[in-house]
Structure formats: C-alpha cells, structure tokens
Amino acid sequence: MQRNAGTDGLKIALAMMVVALHASLFTETAEYLNYIFVNGLLRIAVPTFFIINGFYFYPLIARNRSFTNWAKRLAVLYGIWMLLYLPFYWPVHWELARDQIGLLEKLVFGYHHLWYLVGTLGAGAVLHVLRTRSDKHILISAVALFVMGYVLQAIGNYAPIEEGVAGYLLNSGWIFRNFLFFGFPLFAIGYLIAKHRLHKLPRRDPQLLCAIFASVMLLVAESSVHYFLHPAKAGVDMYLSLLVLCPLLFIFFHSRSARLNTDFLSKLSTAIYLTHVFFINILLNTGWMEQGTPLFVMVMFASTVVSALLVWSDRRWNILF
C-alpha cells in the first residue's frame, strides 16, 4: 500500500517537536527563546497529529467501516502503554486520598503524553456521533469547543481560583486539554479537509507558504503576549492561531506528490512519541542530565534507535504502534 511521503515525513518532524517540547529545548539559553519554542512553536505538533488522525478517520465514516474495531485498537494501544509506564505514575503513598485521586485522573485522562491516545479515541467517538450532522454544524461545534477550552485555559492562568472544587478543576490541565475541547476540534478539521478534498485543490504553493508564515508569526505574537503578561510565565497549550496554522501546514505537506511503499516512517513517528518519555524520565530522575537541548539530543537519539527496533520487531503482531 502506497503512503503519502509528505505526511509521513511531517509526522517524523512532529514527533521530534514533541520530544523537544518535553525536553524543554533551549532552557540553557535565553528565557524568552525557550518560552517561544516550548510554549509556542513546538505546540504545533499535537494539534497537527489530531488533524492527521481526523483526515484518515474520514474513510472509516465514508465507507461505513466498523467504528468499534477502530476504537478497540486504540483502547488496546492505550492499555498497553499505560501498563508499560505504570512504574512512573503509581503513587508512592497509596493510602493518601490525594494520590488515589491523582492515579484515577491518570487512568482516565492518560499519563503525561498518553493523553493524546485518549484524546484521539474520544474525538473519534464524538465525530462518529455527529457524522450525520451537516459539515457546517460540525465545523461550528469544533471551533466553539476549542474557544471554550481556550477560555478555560486563560481563566486557569490569569484568574485562578485557589480553593474548592472550581479551583481544583481550573488548575488541572486536563479540564481543557482533553478530547472535547482540544482533540475533537482539530480531529474534526482534519475530517473535513478529507471530506472536501481541500488537499486536492490546485496547488498554489507561494500563497500557501505565505499564509503559513503569517500564521507562524501570529503564533509567535500570541506566545509573546503570554510571556510578557503572565508573571509566572505559565505554560500554554492552546492558541487560537493553531486553528489556522495546523490545517495549512498539513495541507501543504499532504499535497506533495511523493509516495512511499512502506509505513515504516509513520510507525517510527508513533513509536518515538510513545517511547521518548521513558528516556526523559530515566535521564532526569537519575540526575544524569538536566532539561535542555543536550537532553533533547540524547533522548532523540535513544528513542529513535529503540523505536526503530520496536517497529521492526512488531511487524508480525502490529499491536504496539
């Protein structure tokens, strides 16, 4: 089966961006540079992954394929990787209610980067429910939900409530970084790109590249505003500019004509995404390295080598990626 080389290459780049984000690229340099990358440019990665997933979800709906089989595969994948990461999030003091609640949150919303698998599963479920509604309804719902998530994030960052249930929820990242407010909106955009074949429109690369550049500058401006306004330089996951930048980026790469006869790059990107936190945890917890660019380089090298071996060994069972 032939694959789109542009998209698979993009997925490798996105996986590298996720590693750079979690390694806190450029921490050892200027604070502003670190913030613009970690809380700005590198935030392109996960939304674009959601768009790609939504794009490839469209054939399942169009050809009336089994949603249950799709969901089961994702659920199994989530279960396997949550089990593999269990030593990193199992509470030390199990008897404490706080640790029990923390464990429950991780099981429901996902440990660390694994929230992306839950987000994809939930986004697909929502879109499957809405599949008979008009495209306009789906698009409006997607944008509205993303804006709601953006507002919840802003409240948590700039008008925090310190006490009570409301304070607990608004100070929890998963209240906005979840399948409903984050995953579904981008997933739905990818679905609509595939349905309306926007990637097949006549190629106008100069205009598309100019639009991508303008969107990148808008993202830098947004992240700069947060850097200069927030006294504690709080982290930011959701930017309004991502709703424009990520679809344009995906369309540009997917519209390339090059093809591949293997899914190795696609699976390698998934493997790097899923395994890299192992190496970050080990290197940081043992004190061998600190966050920054050297950590990114080391983790990128280790996760790429191990991921390539895992992808090769998983060819027969096809269950890890």
> How is 253-313 classified by DSSP, letter by letter?
HHT---EES--HHHHHHHHHHHHHHHHHHHHHHTTS--SSHHHHHHHHHHHHHHHHHHHHH
Cβ–Cβ under 8 Å, residues 296 and 23: yes
* Predicted pLDDT at 42: 98
CA atoms within 13 A on the CB side of 217: 6
Q: Is the pLDDT of residue 167 over 80?
A: no
For 119-154, how does the pLDDT look when each residue is reduced to its tens digit (9 = 90+)? 999 999 999 999 999 999 999 999 999 999 999 999
pTM above 0.75, yes or no: yes
For 94-128, how does the pLDDT look when each residue is reduced to its tens digit (9 = 90+)? 777 778 888 999 999 999 999 999 999 999 999 99
H and E: helices and strands count for the chain: 14, 2
Strand ranges (E), the chain:
3-4, 259-260
- Tell me the pLDDT band of 1, cut-offs 50, 70 and 90: low
